[in-house]
Structure formats: C-alpha cells, structure tokens
Chain A
C-alpha cells in the first residue's frame, strides 16, 4: 500500500465496515451509550494494582526500544538522535540505548564492521538545574580506537554517508546486519559531573549502559565522576551496567567516583552490574568510591554484582570504598556478589571498605557473596561497619564453598545496643590474621554463618509469607530479575515459592 492510497483505502474500508454493520444497525448508535471515555482519563483516575510485574517485558520493551530507533530517529530533533541514526545507517540497528542526555566527558568508539562498537555515555540531571542539551554529546563521540587515545573528546565530522535509511517494508530500516557481540566501550578520562538541585532533584550519571543480550560493556574512568543531588530526590551513579544473557561488564575505576545526596535524598552507586545467565562482572578499583547521603537518606554501593545462574564476578580494589548514610537510611556496601546457581565470586580487597550509618539505619558490608556458588575472597584491607542507633553487619565470604582469607581488621560495631553481626567464610574455609572486633553480637567464622533467620534448619536472609528467603537483591529500575518477587521494596528469591501469579 502506498501512502497516498491509505486514506482512500481507510475511508473505503471504513465504509465497508459500516456496510457490514448494516446487518446490525443499532451497533454504531450504541457506541455513545457506554461509559468509555476518550483520552487518558480512565488510566489517570483508576490505576490498577500492578499485579505481577513481569520485568522481562519491561526489559524487552527497552530492547525493542533500541530496535525502534527508526521512530526515535524519525522524530528526533536532537543530536543524540542523529548519533543513533548514524549507528543505524552503518549497522542496521542501534546498539546502545540513549540513556544519556549529555553532559561532562563522554567518549566512545565505532569500528564500523561486524562486531562493531558504538559507545557513548553521559549524564543527566532532573531538577531545577537546567538540563544540558543533547547537542553537548556530539563533540564527545569519535571514531576509531586510535583516535580515542589521540583526541579523546574531539569533535569529529560525520563519518557516515548521508541520506535516509531505506527499508524493504514500511517502517523498517537499513539493511545492514551485525554479527558477533555488541560491544560498548566508554572512556571517561575527563571529569563527569552531574548536579541537580531543588525539590525533586534527581541527579543521575550513566556510563556504559546496555540492555541487550550478548552485550559486552567496558568502562574506564580516569577522571573524577561526581553525581550530586542537592535537594530531596536521588543521586545515582551507574557505571558499567548490562542486562541480558551472557552480559559481560568490565569496569576500571582509576579516578574517583563520588555520589552525594545532601537533602533527604538517596545516594546510590552501581559499578559493574551484570544480569542474566552467564553474566560476568569484572571490576578493578584503584581510586576511591564514595557514596554519601548526608541528610536522612539511604546510601548504597553495589560493586561487581551479577544476577543469574552461572554468573561470575571478579572484584579487585586497591582503593577505598566508603558508604555513609544518615537519618533512618541504611548504609550498604555490596561488593563482589554473584546471585545464581553455579556462580562464583572472586574478591580481592587491598584497600578499605567502610559502611557507616550515623542515624538510625543499619550499616552493612557484604563482601564476596555467592550463596549458591563458589567464593574466593581475600581481604587485606580493613572492613568496617558502624551503626549508631542501627545494627551493623559484616558478611565476608558467603558461598556454598570456597575460601576466605582475612588479613586486615574487621570491625562491626553498633553504638546504641543494637546487635552487631560478623560472618566470615560462611559455608567454607576461613583464615583470619587480622583483628576481628564485634560488639554486642554474634561472630561466625566458617560453618553455616550467622543466620539472620532460619527455618527448617535452613539459613534464611528473611522470612516472607512463612517461607525462607535465600537471596535478596535491590530492585533495579527494571524491577526484579526473573524468578524473584518484589517484596518489602526489594527482590526476594524464595526457592520453594511459586510466585508466578501471586504478588
């Protein structure tokens, strides 16, 4: 069908429908009898309970969204859209979600061949601070690996031919195909700064985000990455996040990563996160990672986390990882965690790890966790969890098998009589050379670990609906992974719980 014929055809078909309806002449008249309202009124007024939120579909929508950049390109009036269009022209498909709206230092590369590479990153801020334009990005994406080294953030001419994509069917795009893995490589040697202020301030920095299967994401930061929310809202830094089966994430942090929320806001840092079966997350930190909620907010850092069966996590850190919260907010570090059957976590910490909750919240460190897999944990730095009015927990080396070496000092204290709990090398071998200080609580070395709760002889992280929860993950922006349920604001895995229809 050609465009000029569509209205005519529609009119004709509509007429045909009307003629068809002539057999039921009252039908059209009854259209207006009902209560159906046009527009969004129904949905604004009557939001249904969410029921079972199938995150797969959400993720899929994101993936299909990538495939739909014909729409985005067609409608885009910004440089980022044009960047996507270039990728589409060259590859037949865009490779990267346009998660960035541009600011700070951004880099990328594009090889233009099967197994091609297109990458860029950026940051965006929602709040009273004016948002920088997409156009900021254009100077920051460049072609060729050599060029990256030579002129990392130089503006480049459009390396691709002009002209609109052509397709073989309405709405389709260029005929290019891509074979092999999708690779995203981001170099951010310069400073990346995202700041949002005012009520509802939401500052987000994204460096290397992918949402597709078989994706490999590599991110290197050399300069400081700073995300700051100066109002009630959220400060969030995501570096190297890939979802999908076989996702591979490699992150090198040579500079500093700082996430600060100053005013009743949550601070979150996520570095090297992979989800899906056979996911790999490798993270090396030489700089510092600081996550701080300064005023009654929760603070959380997740570094090297993979969700999915047979996933693998490797984290090495010579730097320091510090997470501070205030008010009722928790301070949580999760470093080197592989959630899934047959997974492994290898963690080597030379630097220090600190979680400190200065208000009523808990302070928690989880270092080297593969509850259904093998761990290999070496901690030569100090690991400290300090709660003030809240409890404090250090879990170091939790796996179904493996070895945990602790050479540094482990300190777990809660100032106001709340329990402290230290678990080292649960379910495996544990060797401790340093000092272990645990005030007013339980210490477990090796063995079954210090169970939070137990049921039928099993160690449970929590009890939900009378069932044992064996894994708990934070809820991501895409929701909970498959087979997890959303409960108490987090994602729970309950082995014997058929949650498919229930929630």
Chain B
C-alpha cells in the first residue's frame, strides 16, 4: 500500500481546480475568545455526538429547546437511532463558516453518507455559544453550486455511484480515490461558500425538496451503512481479525500487524503507522464497511477525529482458517487535498 502512496504526486487541491476562493481564519483570529469558544464547542459537540448524542440538546442548546431532532434518523428503536448518530458523528469532521459573524455556521460532514449536519450557533459573552439550529443537508446540494436546488437526492452517496460509473466508463479509479476526491471537493466548497474568516452569517442554499426526503434519504444511507458494519461485526473470523488489528494498532509500535498478515503479503505500512501519533490509532471503531465480495474494506476512526480514517482490508471468511488474513492496513488523510498537500 505504501507503494501506492509513493506512486504519484497528489492532485491539485480542489480549490485550485475549481477556482474556489478559500479564506481561513488567521491564527490571530482563531485565538479570539469568542472564536476559540466556538471551535471548542464544535469539538465538544462532535465528541458528545460520538459518546452520548442523546445529551446534545441539553448540553449545547438553550434551556427548553431541542434544535437537533435525533428522531430524524428513522431507524429502528431509540438505541439504534443513537448508535446511528454516534456512527455519524464518529465519521464526521467539523467545518466552520462565518466564524466572525453573529450566527456562525458549523457543519459536521460525514463523507460516508455524504450529508452535513449544519448547526447554527449564537455566541454568548464569556460563555460557550448556544446551539440554535441543526439541519441535515445533502452534500450534493452544496457541491453543485446552485443557489436553489430542486429534485431528488440519490439513494447512494454520489462518490460511491460516481466511482461505479467511472469504472463503467473504463476509468481506473478506486474507492479511496473517489472518497478522497469527493470529500475534498465538498469541504472546499463549504470553505469557499461560507468563508471561515467572514463577518457575514452564512446562508445555506435553498433546497426545493420536502424535508422528509432529506431526512429519509439520510436515514436510508445511514441504515445501509450501519447494516453493513453490523454484518461485518457479526462475522467471524472477520471480527476477530478486526479486533486483533485494533489491538496491534494500540501498541506503540504496531508490529503485531505482521502476525496478522498473510505470510507472503506482509503489511508494508507498519513503519509508517508506527509514526502515526497514538491518539489517531487508539479506540478505533468502524465508521463504514464495504463488502467487496472476496473481502471487506473497513474504515475506522478514533474518537478524537475523523480526518485520518484507517482502512483495513480483510479476507472474506470461508478460507478455512480460524482467522481472516489482513491484507492491508493504511491511513488516509481525507482532507490533505484541500490543504494543498500540506
């Protein structure tokens, strides 16, 4: 896998390709108390969502209000819905727009379902800001650049269907490429449309579509995502292999991965992973799993951030062994392309 990373230079950042203008906060602006509290709230909000989403409204919204409708995830019972939200937040990354405005926007983007949770905040003097609204917003609605979006939302994330269509056209494209490309473009679009260092309150594009469609498709996508993860988690020896990989990654040097790999296919990224800070490879949990027929591709993230998901590739069960061989363990930066490879 490392060879692949070495194989080519990174593509130009989406901002460069699309001509998007991105204005980020300067370090000085970032250190302003109100902005710092906003950033802190964004981080805390995500962590709360990962840990206990049922307390999000109580902790972040004004007393007696509940801007975030947890039941918008129309999946099963309450525990299933909460698990869905936890998975959503674990796989999401926060992005701020209008950070200097009176009602800044913080979007939590999960590329695996290609949806934003757009949250609006009201700064409070000498206190954490308050959540005043939380709405789901499809990634596609932001990307296409229209000010008014009508029509339907595709059943599957566009990067996933786009990858399949690209393959049908004969393009050499993989899941990771499509994911990275789409994620980078989506976030770059957010940054350009809702400049971080702006005093103007961001305004979301109008969407001429029934809210139930937005939440319904969101539920469908999340449901599929969860269902696949559960399928994976319930399949031994895959689950055993997954846990073993996590255990190895928790070590200072993840050399235990060598024992999990197929003998003639050593995992070549052990040295690379050893240099990845431990918090990025601790407490990993799956955020997406894809059944590839002969095996599974599983993306996992730690609690602290979804920016660098770790991808594990596992053989399909049925090989006759007690343990599923691990083909590769790699780490990917979904956002580097926005930052110009920095």
Question: Would you call A172 and B30 a contact (CB within 8 A)?
Answer: no
Pair B304/A36 contact, Cβ less than 8 Å:
no
Q: How far is the CA of A36 from the CA of B171 in the complex (A)?
A: 39
Digitize A318-336: 1 where CB-to-B-CB distance is under 8 Å, 0 elsewhere.
Answer: 0000000000000000000
B binding-site residues for A, Cβ under 8 Å: 1-11, 30-31, 35-37, 39-41, 43-44, 47-48, 50-52, 74-77, 79-81, 83-84, 86, 90, 155-156, 160-161, 163-164, 166-178, 212, 216, 219-221, 223-224, 226-230, 232-234, 239, 242-243, 246, 262-265, 272, 274-277, 279-280, 282-286, 290-295, 297, 302-305, 307-308, 313, 315, 318-320, 325, 327-328, 331, 333, 336, 341-342
Q: How far is the CB of A118 from chain B (nearest CB, A)?
A: 14
Chain B hits for A75, CB < 8 A: 262, 265, 295, 313, 315, 325, 327-328
Residues of A within 8 A of B39 (CB): 20-21, 23-24
Which label, helix, strand, loop or mixed, suits the secondary structure of the A interface? Answer: loop
Q: Would A14 and B280 count as touching, CB distance under 8 A?
A: yes
Nearest CB of A to B339, in Å: 8
Say yes or no: is A177 at the interface (Cβ < 8 Å to chain B).
Answer: yes
Given A74-B4, A93-B171, output 15 extra A-B contacts at Cβ < 8 Å.
Answer: A10-B280, A23-B37, A24-B37, A24-B39, A38-B284, A42-B83, A56-B156, A62-B292, A64-B163, A65-B294, A68-B175, A93-B172, A101-B318, A171-B174, A176-B172
Tell me whether A54 and B223 are in contact in the complex, defined as CB-CB below 8 angstroms, given that A61-B290, A70-B174, A77-B264 are known contacts.
Answer: yes
In the complex, what residues of A have CB within 8 A of residue B243's CB? 39-40
A62–B164 Cα gap in the complex (Å)? 9
Given contacts A10-B280, A51-B219, A168-B8, whether A34 and B242 have CB atoms under 8 Å apart is no
Stretch binding the partner chain, chosen from A25-33, A289-297, A350-358: A25-33
CB–CB B83/A170 < 8 A: no
Query: Cβ of A40 and Cβ of B44 under 8 Å apart?
Result: no
Chain B residues whose C-beta falls within 8 Å of the C-beta of A212 in the assembled complex: 164, 167-168
Which segment of A123-131, A218-226, A276-284, A400-408 sits at the interface? A123-131
Across the interface, A3 reaches (CB within 8 A) one of B2, B170, B226, B342, namely B2
Q: Is A170 in contact with B30, judged by CB distance below 8 angstroms?
A: no
Instruction: Contact check, A93 vs B167: say whether CB atoms are below 8 A apart.
Output: yes
State whether A167 touches B175 (Cβ < 8 A).
no
- Tally of contact residues, A, Cβ under 8 A: 94
A13: B residues at CB distance < 8 A: 307, 333, 342
A462 to B293, CA, bound (A): 34
Query: Beyond A58-B224, A92-B172, is A24–B44 a contact (Cβ under 8 Å)?
Result: yes
Whole-angstrom distance between the Cβ of A229 and the nearest chain B Cβ = 15
List the 7 shortest-distance A-B pairs measured between CB atoms, nearest first: A75-B327, A34-B51, A24-B40, A49-B76, A7-B275, A23-B36, A48-B80
Q: How far is the CA of A174 from the CA of B4 in the complex (A)?
A: 12
Interchain Cβ contacts under 8 Å between A and B, 9 examples: A9-B336, A9-B342, A10-B333, A26-B40, A38-B284, A39-B246, A42-B285, A53-B224, A61-B292
Contact check, B341 vs A61: say whether CB atoms are below 8 A apart. Answer: no
B173/A172 in contact, CB under 8 A: yes
B178 cross-chain contacts in A, Cβ below 8 A: 64
Residue of B nearest to A88 (CB): B172
Contact partner of B293 (CB less than 8 A), chosen from A8, A34, A98, A501, is A98
